[in-house]
C-alpha cells in the first residue's frame, strides 16, 4: 500500500467497503492498527433510514479539510440507545496524516474514487449468513432493519459497481 500515492492532499485514503455482516469492520480495525491509521466509519454518519446519501456532504467537508492539510472534526451518530440519533455522539477529530481507513458500506463509492489510494471490498457471498452474523452482533430486535439494509445494499452495489472497481476483493468466511 505504501506504493499507492496519497490522493487526499498528503493523506492516503483507504476504503474498506462491503455488505453488512461481511467482516469489514474487523478487517478495517486490524488494518488501522497495523498502519497506525485514523479510522472513520460510515456508521458515524449513517442511519437506518439513510444508509448512504443524506450525510455524504458532511463527510465530504471532513475530507476536504484533510485534503487541504487542516484538522477536521465531526460529531458521530449516536447508536447507543438502540436507534440512531444524528450528530449526538462524541466529536471525532481527524488530522491530516499518512493514512485514513474509511470503513463501511458505500465508503469506496464512485464519487470519491479519485481520492482513494486503495479500495478494498470485503465479500461474503452468503446473504443469509451475513444477516445472521449482523443479528447475532447487534440483536434480534434489529433483524427487520438489517433486512431493509441488505435490500438497500444490493441496489447500491449493483449501481455503484463497487466490487468490480475495488483494487482488492477479500473473501471472508
pLDDT tens column, 105-156: 999 999 999 999 999 999 987 999 999 999 998 899 999 999 999 999 999 9
Report the phi/psi class of residue 12: left, alpha or beta, with left for phi > 0 and alpha for psi in -120 to 50.
beta
Give the pTM: 0.93
Please check whether the domain covering 12-171 is classified as CATH 3.40.50.300: yes
Can you give the residue ranges of every domain in the chain? 12-171
The per-residue pLDDT for 97 is 85
* Of 48, 49, 51, 31, nearest in space to 39 by CA: 31
Contacts of residue 173, defined as CB under 8 A and 6 or more positions apart, other chains included, come to: 124
* Of 165, 159, 125, 141, nearest in space to 52 by CA: 159
Residue 109, all three cell numbers: 463509492
Count, in order, helices (H) and strands (E) of the chain. Answer: 5, 7
Other Cβ atoms less than 10 A from the Cβ of 97: the count is 15
Amino acid at each position: 500500500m505504501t506504493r499507492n500515492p496519497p490522493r487526499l492532499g498528503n493523506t492516503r485514503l483507504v476504503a474498506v467497503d462491503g455488505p453488512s455482516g461481511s467482516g469489514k469492520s474487523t478487517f478495517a480495525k486490524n488494518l488501522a492498527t497495523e498502519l497506525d491509521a485514523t479510522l472513520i466509519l460510515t456508521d458515524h454518519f449513517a442511519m437506518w433510514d439513510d444508509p448512504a446519501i443524506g450525510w455524504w456532504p458532511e463527510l465530504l467537508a471532513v475530507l476536504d479539510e484533510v485534503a487541504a492539510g487542516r484538522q477536521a472534526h465531526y460529531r458521530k451518530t449516536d447508536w447507543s440507545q438502540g436507534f440512531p440519533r444524528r450528530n449526538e455522539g462524541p466529536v471525532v477529530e481527524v488530522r491530516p496524516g499518512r493514512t485514513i481507513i474509511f470503513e463501511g458500506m458505500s465508503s469506496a463509492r464512485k464519487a470519491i474514487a479519485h481520492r482513494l489510494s486503495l479500495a478494498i471490498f470485503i465479500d461474503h457471498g452468503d446473504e443469509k449468513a451475513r444477516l445472521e452474523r449482523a443479528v447475532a452482533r447487534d440483536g434480534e430486535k434489529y433483524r427487520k432493519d438489517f433486512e431493509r439494509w441488505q435490500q438497500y445494499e444490493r441496489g447500491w452495489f449493483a449501481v455503484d459497481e463497487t466490487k468490480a472497481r475495488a483494487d482488492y476483493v477479500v473473501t471472508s468466511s
